[in-house]
Chain A
Amino acid sequence: MMNHRPHAMRWAATAGLLGTLVLGGCATKSAVATTSGAEPSSPAAQTHAKTGPGATAQTNENPGGSEALQGFSRNPVEEQVTEPAPMVVAKVGQPESLARKASEAAITPLTDIYFAFDRWGLSADGKKNLAENADLLRRHQDAKILIEGYCDERGSLEYNLVLGEKRAQETSRYLLALGIKNPVSVTSYGKERQVCTEPNESCYWKNRRAHLILEENK
């Protein structure tokens, strides 16, 4: 009689364990469903938050859509492996940056032109570097040049956009005055796309620049 009790307890424990596993499995799937619906504290949601508004918007556009439900037939490990959000983000973010890096690596290196704080006039060093750039450009007369103007992080967004444009325009003007025949276009990123983000002067200086891109004609 005394031995029946441990058996009963073992059965009860086994039944309880099975029940827990079954219910636990359901609970896990419920949690995943919540995660797919962009739960702010979930890892998937955190990934969305870090990777930018585009990806988040895409998730919000279709929170209960078929893509989000595909993982329900798999176990949680598979769901994690086939998590769609990072791939969507990669598609949004990568081509531009990769293309940009590839094009920058492919071009003949033109020297960046740096500017003094809150100035768009060229420095003596800037003019010297542009003269060297012009020598190189004369050997690639068919190539188009894109000049991007940048500023450091200080100042308002709008002011820096105009200042960056003036830097790019002044760089263009000086190159043309040196006699280059290449078609030149300018654009300004203001204080966006900083190459250095530390709040010190050496970092600010790296951002106050005109970046020249040589685009070979196809």
Chain B
Amino acid sequence: MKQSNVRRVVVSVTACLVLVSPYAFGAGDEGHSKTAPMVRMTTSNDSLELQIAEDGGTPIKETIPIHRVGSIRYFSAGIGLEERSAHYPAFPLKLVFVAGPKAYLSQVSVTITDTEGKVRLQIPPKQVTGPWLFIDLPPGNYDISAQGPGKASIKEHVTLSAKQTKTIYLRWKEETA
């Protein structure tokens, strides 16, 4: 008796899930291509070109500007899964800005100083459009100071070596809004 009741409950729950799933997961998800977008990237002097292949359509092309201060280059990316699935040039430093659980942050201002206290790079928040920031710094020891919008400054020390990308997560405790 109990077993049949359990079976009935399981059947109705399954039926409900089948009925509800198109709404629960949303037509946006439902109608989207199941395959991860293929990303091809070509590098020009001052920008990166992302080509995101689509099923049976013309690929999406996106341009990401590369900024330069002296010999140091940097660019920001990582908005949407489309940008985060791309393989970017192997710059020695990758910063990831996070606020609260799983919430990415952008518009972060970043200052990088060397061991002598000399400011090597100062990046204004408007150039940090995404939660990822790639910086082409020469090998050495650096202090990173980052400040999110309306947030306290976070400091981190990093040692960079040639031919290796170091990823630093800069995490603020709470989400912005």
Contacts and interface: CB of A to CB of B under 8 A. Distances in A.
Interface of A: 114-121, 123-127, 154-159, 162-163, 166, 170, 173, 177, 191, 200-202, 204-205, 208
A159 B82 contact: no
Contacts of B54: 121
A152 to B, nearest CB: 10
B52 interface: yes
A118 B36 CA distance: 13
Given A157-B177, A202-B26, 12 more contacts: A115-B28, A124-B32, A155-B104, A156-B99, A156-B105, A158-B107, A158-B149, A158-B176, A163-B79, A201-B25, A202-B24, A205-B28
B29 A156 contact: no
A120 B57 contact: no
Nearest to A170: B60
Interface residues of B, number: 37
B92 interface: no
Contacts of A157: 149, 176-177
B45 interface: no
A132 to B, nearest CB: 14
Contacts of B105: 156, 158-159
B25 A119 contact: no
Interface string B70-89: 00000000011110000000
Contacts of A126: 28, 31
A156 B104 contact: yes
A159 B79 contact: yes
Nearest to A200: B24
Interface of B: 23-33, 37, 52, 54-55, 57-58, 60, 79-82, 99-100, 102-107, 129-131, 149, 175-177
A115 B33 CA distance: 11
A124 B80 contact: no
A163 to B, nearest CB: 6
Contacts of B106: 156, 158-159, 162
A8 to B, nearest CB: 70
Contacts of B33: 123-124
A157 B80 CA distance: 14
7 contacts: A155-B103, A157-B149, A158-B105, A163-B80, A201-B25, A205-B29, A208-B26
Contacts of A115: 28
Contacts of B177: 156-157, 191
Given A158-B106, A158-B176, A162-B106, A114 B28 contact: yes
A170 B155 CA distance: 36
